A and B are shown apart, each in its own frame.
Chain A
Amino acid sequence: MAAPFSRLCRPLWRITTTSTLNKGVRNVSSSRQQWSAQNVKTAGAASPWALHGALCLQRLPVVSQDGSPIEEDFMELMHLMELERSLLSDHELRLLEDAARMSRKQEEDYDSDEEDYRDNEIVTAQDLEDIWEQKPKQFQPAPRSQGKHYFGSDHVFKIFQSYKTCRMFTNYSTGVDEKDVSSSERCLADSLILLAKKDVGSQKLWLLPQIQWQTGETLRQTAERALASLPGADKKATFLGSAPCGFYKYKYPKEIQKEGSVGAKVFFFKAVLSSHKHLPLEKNSFAWVKKEELQDFLKPEYLKQVRRFIMAL
């Protein structure tokens, strides 16, 4: 019989979901929000909903993403067009003059008095170019995906005599690190979110780190406490704002529900990881995941709400 089996297979909690408080969401959600507010009001002055503040900690992408084949082709075409339309620089003019002078010297009826002496220099333009080309060879770029040292976004050396910007990251090695979910240095081109495994009720679930709200503090402070309570304590993160970005509501299972507590409401706050010094986290309790991988970790109803405010850009 299909029906009773399906009831058994469903998760232990009846999870009711409502709208988010995100301003960017369309009008549909605002009307549903009013419904939930009314629901709370009928419950009485002391709300039976426990409040939690949760933290959506993101590690921003470090390296820009590779373009699709069309983008690469187009970029090459634009570079080529720009090169063809550009004017010659001083250095290139000098190169041409030197070359012309060389060819004149080779001729039979060469008279060195006819030359302009101010153009004669000891170091020719070609020599300079050779010196310049030797210099970048002393520089070792970091590999794109592995390792502890990578180029931050502070500086890029543009070597001006070559008209294409040097690709700093020449190795694109997809090492083991890509699959290692506990390292925050994986997938440098994407943004990652921190997930924590927590016991909720009798189960261990993957969640965004959350902590119960205490009276007298703002929800943002609750989220900050959640950040501080994470192990690997030197995580410096900047909160993007005091407004929550998402909301999730769930009811406790029937056995736990009492007079004063029906369920819990979780408010999510976004933060951006600002320091990269990190210690490896315990493998089974923390994970840095991309948006596509979230479905492997989170429950479907929870995932549906969380997906609304996570941007995979």
Chain B
Amino acid sequence: MSQGRSGRADQSVLIKKNKVYCISNHHFFVCAILLLQVLLFQNTRALLCAAASLQSQVLTTQMPLGVLLTSRQYRSMPTHGIGKYRHLLPKALPKKKKDRVQVKQIKAATATEFGVFNVCVSGYDMTLVEHYSQYIHNLCNHFDIKVDESCALPTKSTEVMVMQEQGTKMYVDAVLKTHERIVQISEMKATLFPIFMEVVLKNQPEGVRLCVKQHTEADYQARFKTRPELEGLLAKIHN
């Protein structure tokens, strides 16, 4: 059907899901037919084709190209969207800054499960201590035991002082450093514990001290540095 030239500027066809809003007077008839087509076809591709065909018909009447902001034509291509993979990747959360370390609630023990306890490994030889603590951690992973934390405590230096043969003065003979590693375990079943302990004990190397104890608030606070000025101010407030 031939249409005469029209001076109408606004002719925009919006495609919103299955409805086509046609704001054109001239092409009302065309729109009506296409609307019918659209309502009949639920398929999006057919819809797009219908819209495309509408547009193609519309465009033949020498309209300015930028006016008709209908669906972009390439979406009708069968290969549209080929090569898209971003939507298949897991959602990567934006990296947030580290907020203040919160004090975690210490879970209490139930009848069948232990609460939170620490396996402390300490000794003078750092390679042995570290390897042993790594061994314990890997053992927990293997047994599906939940490991809350695996950290190190600050190294303590011990000076060995020897008395001189003649005289009363002591002089430093050696400096021994004690290294300590902690593996914090929570929610361990009471039936698994004896097996775990036995494996850990039997593989303890010489020169390494093993200690298994309950985790307390005091242990947690001991890891933090003291803040002398804050404590001074607090003391002043309380006085």
Residues of A within 8 A of B (CB): 21-24, 58, 60-61, 63-64, 151, 153-156, 158, 160, 165, 168, 191, 240-243, 245, 270, 272, 311, 313
B75 on the interface (CB 8 Å rule)? no
* Interface contact A60-B202, CB-CB below 8 Å: yes
Residues of B near A243 (CB, < 8 A) are 190-191, 193-194
Give A91 Cβ to nearest chain B Cβ, in Å.
13
**Which residue in chain B gives the minimum CB-CB distance to A160?**
B174
Residues of B within 8 A of A (CB): 123-125, 174, 189-195, 197-199, 201-209
Residues of A near B123 (CB, < 8 A) are 156
* Interface contact B124-A158, CB-CB below 8 Å: yes
Residues of A near B199 (CB, < 8 A) are 311, 313
* Interface contact B204-A153, CB-CB below 8 Å: yes
* Interface contact B195-A23, CB-CB below 8 Å: yes
Main secondary structure of the interface of A (DSSP, over half): loop
**In the bound complex, what is the Cα–Cα distance between A272 and B199 (angstroms)?**
12
Main secondary structure of the interface of B (DSSP, over half): mixed
Give A177 Cβ to nearest chain B Cβ, in Å.
20
* Interface contact A153-B191, CB-CB below 8 Å: no
**In the bound complex, what is the Cα–Cα distance between A153 and B191 (angstroms)?**
28
Give B217 Cβ to nearest chain A Cβ, in Å.
26
Give A135 Cβ to nearest chain B Cβ, in Å.
9
Residues of A near B203 (CB, < 8 A) are 313
**Which residue in chain A gives the minimum CB-CB distance to B210?**
A153
Give A255 Cβ to nearest chain B Cβ, in Å.
38
**Which residue in chain A gives the minimum CB-CB distance to B207?**
A156
* Interface contact B201-A23, CB-CB below 8 Å: no
Give B198 Cβ to nearest chain A Cβ, in Å.
6
**In the bound complex, what is the Cα–Cα distance between A272 and B195 (angstroms)?**
12
